[in-house]
Structure 1
Amino acid sequence: MPGAISPALAQAAGAAPALLDVSLRINGTEHRLSLDPRTTLLDALREHLHLTGSKKGCGLGQCGACTVLMDGMRVKACLSLAALAQGREIKTIEGLAQGDELHPLQASFIERDAFQCGYCTSGQIMAGVACISEGHAGSPQDIREWMSGNLCRCGAYDHIVAAIQDAAAVSSSTQGG
């Protein structure tokens, strides 16, 4: 075809790649999206699904404000491609509460005043949920070590650690341990 440009040449010339059909399971609901293959999970959540609880902090995976759970494991959504999350179970802060009942860690954050500006809070809570489920909330030192990938510019770390300890105690008492 005269005048046609190959896809490789178009991409090299700066044209956007073809959209990719992606199916993401977020907070128990299947979402079908057509995305640029370079779209991060964070951008898919915030810009395409309007789930803005996960924050874009550094965009480099260093601050943890974008932390979500993928198959129960903590993940920095700014470093994860949305297309690679297909077939995985993603949980964001919006899916943590059960109806009007807050997750124990959300309630502990309120009780312990574990946030100030709130920008890091969703990432802290999601990482804290993983910290507890992974069995790393046995001591304040363990919590600090396992939460070290989540930064709080306000310095509410003592309150965050206390909230995680409280929620871990609730979790262990409800699990019979």
Structure 2
Amino acid sequence: MTVVPTLRPWLPSDASVLLTASADPELSRQFGGRTFDETAAAAFIATTYRFDGHARNWAVVDDGDLVGNVGVTAIEHTHGTAWISYWLTPEARGRGLATRALVTAADDAFDLGLHRLELGHRTNNPASCAVATRAGFRAEGVERDKLRYGDERFDVETHARLATDPAPDVTGLRSVVSDV
């Protein structure tokens, strides 16, 4: 029996998955080049992959396996804005999970009363651009040399989705908050 892909808050017991994911050369950028051990991964989950009034980080679970993250962070209630990000393990890519997770996280953020969600991707990452576009995030411009990984700098294309934008024709994922 196949289990429906789900979003749920991160748990301390997810540290081993984060440890494995951060070892992937492409994903290590998502973690600022950090190397984790089990203790550091658990601490990262507790402090960075929080699920509270300022950040809502969702673990992407597919067929029982944790395969990624989608996070709504820097939640700013005065102006109704937030930053959104996402990643998947290499094995989970190419099946629409990132787009579906992004749509679900955006809908949850709009349900909280937020109005504008922003994200950015390296301009040399067309797959991330495609995820953002399919999830209804419109490109707004390029920020030159915004990110630095090691000694290399990257331009970033910024996208945004407003609560008033048309909803994309994408079926989101089931989300479970009872584990918080």
Normalised by the length of structure 1, the TM-score is: 0.28
Instruction: Choose between structure 1 and 2: higher strand proportion.
Output: 2
Normalised by the length of structure 2, the TM-score is: 0.28
Larger Rg: 1
Instruction: Choose between structure 1 and 2: higher helix proportion.
Output: 1
